[in-house]
């Protein structure tokens, strides 16, 4: 939905922020200043104090200030790994070290997320109740694990919409505020955004994942989730079942094709119809391929519902997707 409303994280966010806090938020100016002073390459106490102040936004209304000793220690602890993360965002070891050291020094995961959001907004964002509520996110007692799960969820949305993670979080915050805190501000916009939020497949997927993970743990796969949901919400169940099928196809293809062909498949993943390409690469039987293509088209209707969609999705379609998963694994 965010591609339909690109202004949610910018102009609308700023208007809503002023309505909520009676002042503007100069997030982009702060991000620009941090880039200009090369904060990620040579992090200093000055940089952190700029982020954790009221100079560019309404920080003190919600969060407390770390002590000077904590800031001094934190800069010393994370400077090198922040540089590594900025240059190589996929460095998981560096990310875990940064989060672990920040949590041990600052203790407060919200403040940890704030610092990372402004330093590397493409990869990090603020953890706060409004966006957590909209994706059904639940914290646990392990602080670093909580942050890793939260960033992972928001990155899924950011990657899908080709946005920064901090941008996605601001968009979710804006929708939440318009719905719950200031519904009087722009009733028409609030209702329009909320209706789109309720049917957004990627967000629905996250909400279901987080709900089921809370009930039964992280080990539940999309196949089991689709079985649970097939009667209540066959459209969402079909999306989950087909996501599981696509994941299985990737596993199969990675075992069978050479490196060059695999790289070509990975580079074409965003061009559309990747499932058909995977079936060709895996030399799937034509009869099964035809069945998968038919269900894939229904999956697409579930992901992009419109009033003109004449074909209804039923639990029978979900059952066929589940059956295809069994045949292909």
81: its two tokens:
């790994």
Query: Does residue 53 lie within any of the structural domains?
Result: yes
> Does one domain contain both 241 and 108?
no
> Does one domain contain both 190 and 243?
no
User: Which residue shows structure tokens 């964002």?
Assistant: 125
> Does one domain contain both 184 and 279?
no
pLDDT of residue 4: 84
Query: Does residue 214 lie within any of the structural domains?
Result: no
Query: Does residue 206 lie within any of the structural domains?
Result: no
> Does one domain contain both 317 and 171?
no
> Does one domain contain both 267 and 168?
no
pLDDT of residue 140: 87
Query: Does residue 84 lie within any of the structural domains?
Result: yes
pLDDT of residue 184: 93
User: Domain span at residue 94?
Assistant: 6-196
> Does one domain contain both 190 and 241?
no
Number of domains the chain contains: 2
Predicted structure pTM score: 0.70
> Does one domain contain both 192 and 225?
no
Query: Does residue 203 lie within any of the structural domains?
Result: no
> Does one domain contain both 21 and 133?
yes
Cα separation, 121 vs 154, whole angstroms: 12
Query: Does residue 213 lie within any of the structural domains?
Result: no
> Does one domain contain both 234 and 155?
no
pLDDT of residue 316: 87
> Does one domain contain both 36 and 178?
yes
> Does one domain contain both 259 and 185?
no
Cα separation, 149 vs 138, whole angstroms: 9
pLDDT of residue 201: 80
Angle made by CA atoms 253, 256, 259, in degrees to the nearest 5 = 85
pLDDT of residue 220: 60
Instruction: Show which of 134, 163, 196 is a domain's final residue.
Output: 196
How many residues are there in the chain?
329
Cα separation, 114 vs 34, whole angstroms: 13
For every residue of 241-280, DSSP letters joined together read HHHHHHHHHHHHHHHHS-HHHHHHHHHTGGGS-HHHHHHH
pLDDT of residue 218: 56
Query: Does residue 202 lie within any of the structural domains?
Result: no
Q: Check if the beta carbon of residue 327 is closer than 8 Å to that of residue 287.
A: no
Q: Check if the beta carbon of residue 25 is closer than 8 Å to that of residue 60.
A: no
Q: Check if the beta carbon of residue 242 is closer than 8 Å to that of residue 296.
A: yes
Query: Does residue 125 lie within any of the structural domains?
Result: yes
Consecutive 10-residue averages of pLDDT for the chain (329 residues): 88 96 94 96 96 94 91 95 90 93 95 97 96 92 94 93 95 96 94 89 82 64 71 78 86 88 82 83 88 86 62 82 82
> Does one domain contain both 27 and 138?
yes
Burial group, residue 105, by CB count within 10 angstroms (0-12, 13-18, 19+): buried
User: Which residue shows structure tokens 């770390």?
Assistant: 66
């Amino acid at each position: 939905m965010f591609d339909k409303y690109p202004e949610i994280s910018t102009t609308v966010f700023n208007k809503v922020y002023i309505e909520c806090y009676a002042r503007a938020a100069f997030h982009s100016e702060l991000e620009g200043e941090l880039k200009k002073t090369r904060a990620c390459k040579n992090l200093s106490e000055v940089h952190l104090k700029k982020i954790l102040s009221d100079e560019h936004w309404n920080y003190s209304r919600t969060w407390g200030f770390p002590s000077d000793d904590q800031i001094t220690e934190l800069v010393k602890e994370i400077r090198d790994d922040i540089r590594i993360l900025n240059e190589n965002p996929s460095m998981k070891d560096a990310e875990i070290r940064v989060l672990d050291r920040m949590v041990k020094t600052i203790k407060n995961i919200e403040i940890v997320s704030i610092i990372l959001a402004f330093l590397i907004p493409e990869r990090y964002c603020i953890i706060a109740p409004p966006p957590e509520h909209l994706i059904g996110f639940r914290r646990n007692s392990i602080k670093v694990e909580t942050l890793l799960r939260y960033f992972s969820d928001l990155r899924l949305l950011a990657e899908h919409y080709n946005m920064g993670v901090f941008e996605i979080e601001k968009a979710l915050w804006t929708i939440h505020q318009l719905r719950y805190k200031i519904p009087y501000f722009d009733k028409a916009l609030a209702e329009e955004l909320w209706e789109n939020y309720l049917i957004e497949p990627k967000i629905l997927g996250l909400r279901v994942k987080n709900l089921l993970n809370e009930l039964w743990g992280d080990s539940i796969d999309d196949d089991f989730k689709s079985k649970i949901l097939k009667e209540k919400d066959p459209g969402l169940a079909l999306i989950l079942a087909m996501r599981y099928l696509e994941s299985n196809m990737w596993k199969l293809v990675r075992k069978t094709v050479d490196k060059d062909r695999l790289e070509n498949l990975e580079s074409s993943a965003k061009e559309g119809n990747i499932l058909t390409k995977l079936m060709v690469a895996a030399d799937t039987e034509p009869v099964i391929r035809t069945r998968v293509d038919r269900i894939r088209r229904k999956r697409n209707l579930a992901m992009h519902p419109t009033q003109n969609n004449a074909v209804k999705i039923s639990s029978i379609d979900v059952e066929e997707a589940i059956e295809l998963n069994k045949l292909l694994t």
